[in-house]
Amino acid sequence: MRKSIVSTPAPEPALEEVRASRRRLRRRRSRGVEWFVVLLALIALGALAGVIGLLLAEREMARRIYPNISVRGVPVGGMTVDGAYGAVERHYGAFLYNPVVLTYGERVWRPGAEELGLRLVIDDALQEAFAYARNESRLQNLRTALAVWEQGVDLPLRLEVDQRAMQRYLAQIAAELEAPPQDAAVALDGARVVVTPEQWGLQVLVDETLRDVTAAAQGLERVTVAVRTRALEPRLRDAEVAPVADSLRLMLNGPLVLEGASGACAAGCRWSLPPERLAEWISVRRVSGADGEPTYTVSVDQSRIRAALLPMAAALRQEGSLPTVAWNNGDLRIVTPGDPGLGLDADEAIAAVNLALNGGPRQIRLPMEPIPPPVTERNLASLGITERLGLGVSSFARSEQYRITNIRAGARRMNGVLIPPGATFSFNQQLGPVNAANGFVEGLAIVENRTQKEWGGGLCQVSTTVFRAAFFGGLPITERHEHAFRIGWYEELGEPPGLDAAIFTPYNDVRFVNDTGGWLLMESYVDLARQRLSVALYGPPTGRSVTYTHRVLEQTPAPTTPVYVNDPSKPRGYLRRTDIARGGIKVVIERTVTANGQVLTRDRFPTEFKPWPNIYVRGTGR
């Protein structure tokens, strides 16, 4: 508040002083106005400069992002869009180069963002940043810009995920890692049991791994992600295969030994089948069980066991004896039934083999069972014996009783004899032991080039007659021996020399083959009244006819010097002629067998009778 002052008259000097003071005041006021004008001018100039600067700054900021703006933590304020793009790209360069490290165990994959289908949408973020505080009215944009200046703003950065690309990459990893499960398996390699152990499989869980990668990548920082997998269990486990393998090892645990004593193995036979042979019978197959799950089955081929037993059965087979059969004018009848034989009981043998393969005894005595005789009343008529094929006749006129006895005993052994198709008939085998038990007696026979007592003297009469039956039946004769010298009995009915057959068991034999394709029946007839022996062969029709010729090749006279044989069993003074001197001769008989006008065979039967001296037995005993 101003104070009022009361003025009083002053002296003159004081008035001048007042005036001077007023002048000074006016001058000061004048200078203040001047300074005020200057100040106003300066303010105007400053405002003008500010406006000009503001216009220039606004012009510059028109192509830049407003200050204090960032994108996902990357400052981009004051930058052009291109500059900001480079800044953001540099900031996330390491992430884009390798956003995720994928691992599985010790395996590592370092894919780039492009491989995984990851892309940072930088353009959209920068466009948003550039447009910030530019989309409203000038006043509103200014307010927004001032708020950004004071507080700042961080704009989001979007990560774009191409799931198909990521699936393709993960599928490549799956192709490297995945493996199907391997079932346990069992097989045979010869006799070796081969077990393949189970192997678990591996499956890459692509979708789950994709979700993990996608989530991890949202942080825009390199992270490690484990590849998700799952184990695949085999359908057939080791524990399920183990019993099958144990069963196979049991089956092949050493050889299988089979024994038997019968037939051709009367002295005993032994067969050892090694594991390699047994393995051929066994098959191991993978099958589906009742629940549809896989399993293994072991089977033994019973037909192979049976086939393996066949040769053993053949060796052990003891055929029953053939019956004796009467021709009976074509109405065959059995006179003496055959005895049953022995054969392998195949079913029992197979059962024993199966038992052995499953842990039973591996040494088997092969079981036998009776088998019926080859020929019985049931199949007798089917033998096809319908006509006589060959007849042999010889005379034993003026034979001594011992000879007749032996001829009759030998003829009985040749009567009613059946000869199977394809079989070789052996006179000695059919004759059997020449002893008293079979009705034979001692008599004179040609032994070691002289006539002497022997069991069965006169049996050559029977062998000769059998030979003639086969000869005239057109059958192949595989063994025949001539006598050492000519015997009159064999030529009494007009036969030429050379149609004889000498036997001396078990060395010299008469053999012929039944090649008719059917059965043969041999019958013998002893005609005591006429002192003749006949042997007939009956069988199927063959249409064969036989012709023969004989030729004398050489003759030599009988020796004139007698031979004496000392016999200590006779007393001194005993002298008896046992052999009459005969000349020697060489002859050959040629036989031709034809059927239906075709020659089947031509064969020759050479004979050489040696010259024979008179032989005397001289007693040298007491």
Query: Per residue in 185-215, pLDDT tens?
Result: 999 999 999 999 999 999 999 999 999 999 9
β-sheet bridge partners, residue 182: 199
Q: Per the omega criterion (within 30 degrees of 0), is the bond before 506 cis?
A: yes
Number of neighbours of residue 606 by Cβ within 10 angstroms: 12
Q: Where are the beta strands (DSSP E) in 190-255?
A: 192-196, 201-204, 223-226, 229-232
Residue 445 has pLDDT above 70, yes or no: no
Per-residue pLDDT for 548 more than 60?
yes
Nearest residue to 406 (alpha-carbon basis) of 479, 371, 457: 457
Which residue did the predictor score with more confidence, 258 or 458? 258
The H-assigned helical ranges of 9-137 are 12-61, 81-91, 93-97, 113-116, 122-131
pLDDT tens string 350-384: 999 999 999 999 999 999 999 999 999 999 999 99
Residue 245 has pLDDT above 60, yes or no: yes
C-beta atoms surrounding 73 within 10 Å = 11
3-state DSSP percent of the chain in helix, strand and coil, to 5:
35, 30, 35
325, 335 contact by CB (below 8 A): yes
Mean pLDDT of the chain: 90
Summarised one tens digit per residue, pLDDT across range 401-418 is 989 999 999 999 999 999
Whether residue 467 contacts residue 476, with contact meaning beta carbons closer than 8 Å, is answered with no
Question: In the beta sheet, which residues pair with residue 508?
Answer: 504
Residue 622 vs residue 71, higher pLDDT = 71
CA distances for 547 relative to 304, 316, 517, angstroms: 52, 43, 22
Q: Where are the beta strands (DSSP E) in 134-252?
A: 153-155, 159-161, 185-189, 192-196, 201-204, 223-226, 229-232
456 pLDDT tier (thresholds 50, 70, 90): low
CA distance 129 to 71: 8
CATH 3.10.20 region(s) of the chain? 60-182+199-231
Residues in a beta bridge with 293: none
Is the pLDDT score of 3 beyond 80?
Answer: no
Average pLDDT over residues 309-334: 96
Secondary element (H or E) of residue 479? strand 477-479
d(CA 5, CA 207): 102
Token pair of 264, please? 């051709």
60-182+199-231 is a CATH 1.10.150 domain: no
Using pLDDT thresholds of 50, 70 and 90, give the confidence band for residue 423. very high
Q: Contacts for 188-195 with beta carbons within 8 Å, 24 or more apart?
A: 188/248, 188/279, 188/282, 188/284, 190/276, 190/279, 191/252, 191/274, 191/275, 191/276, 191/278, 191/279, 193/245, 193/248, 193/249, 193/252, 195/241, 195/242, 195/245
SS3 label, residue 249 = helix
Q: Which DSSP letter does residue 432 get?
A: -
